[in-house]
Amino acid sequence: MEPLIQIKNIHKIYNPGENEVRALDGVDLEIGYGEFVGIIGHSGSGKSTLMNMLGCLDTPTSGRYYLKGQDVSQLSDNQLSDIRNREIGFIFQGFNLIANLDALSNVELPLVYRGIPKKERKRLASLALTKVGLGKRMNHKPNELSGGQQQRVAVARAVAAQPPIILADEPTGNLDTKSTREIMDILKGLHKSGRTVIIITHDDDIAREVDRVVRIIDGKVEADYRQNTGKPSPAVYRKVPVPFSMESVSDKESS
């Protein structure tokens, strides 16, 4: 069975020519269903560029990216939008909630873009918020919530549409120790429930909690190893059980 994510010899070059910056310089990476991966690197190492590639936010200069076996490296903007919507849940360092929408509406957004009817959307969004412990704060605006609570809203938003991949970019970078613990516990829970969770971080404490570490230096994979004994190695590829049918509604917006 093909891996969930398969990256083959990807390059990303900014300013091609004399002052070119090789943000990614021939990266190969495979991530299977249900893995818990930490992509670790210092700032400028290329880990953010890698995260943009993985998240289908950017296209590589050369190389191939197969997501669920589909080559997504040369898709159009709109096709990438659809892939992001269906396959990936983003969690950002700066939370990236929309300020004038309340928690519920923020969580609903990816469901809106998927074209899910209002009633179902509200149900899924409030379910996701309840799961992250914010069932009683659904109608609060982001500025009425603490940093940890805002990040939990962002997590709810990432999981509401049930994407197979959760991509978290420095998810605890702006949080205190207690909130960091909460968010890490939630991410671990997501992994346990069968989702593929990828955390991008420079924080070694966070790196210690994941099953697999991919260390990036100067745009290259410097190390790729498994840790935390008791886990099967090599990676086990398995399908995520999807709790409701996304396929039936996934193409509503294609018009």
Footprint of other proteins on this chain (CB under 8 A)?
52, 55, 57-58, 77-78, 81-82, 84-86, 90, 92, 94, 96-101, 105, 109-110, 112-115, 117-118, 157, 252-253
Q: What's the sign of the alpha-carbon dihedral 168, 170, 175, 178?
A: positive
CB of 90 to other proteins, least distance (A): 5
**How far, in Å, CA of 39 to CA of 43, rounded?**
12
φ/ψ of 90, rounded to 5, equals -95, 140
Nearer to other proteins, 35 or 82 (CB): 82
CB of 112 to other proteins, least distance (A): 5
Nearer to other proteins, 1 or 99 (CB): 99
Task: Give me the residues paired with residue 66 across strands.
Answer: 6, 71
Is residue 135 within 8 A of residue 78, CB to CB? The reply is no
The SS3 of residue 183 is helix
For the chain, count helices (H), then strands (E): 7, 10
CB of 4 to other proteins, least distance (A): 19
CB of 49 to other proteins, least distance (A): 9
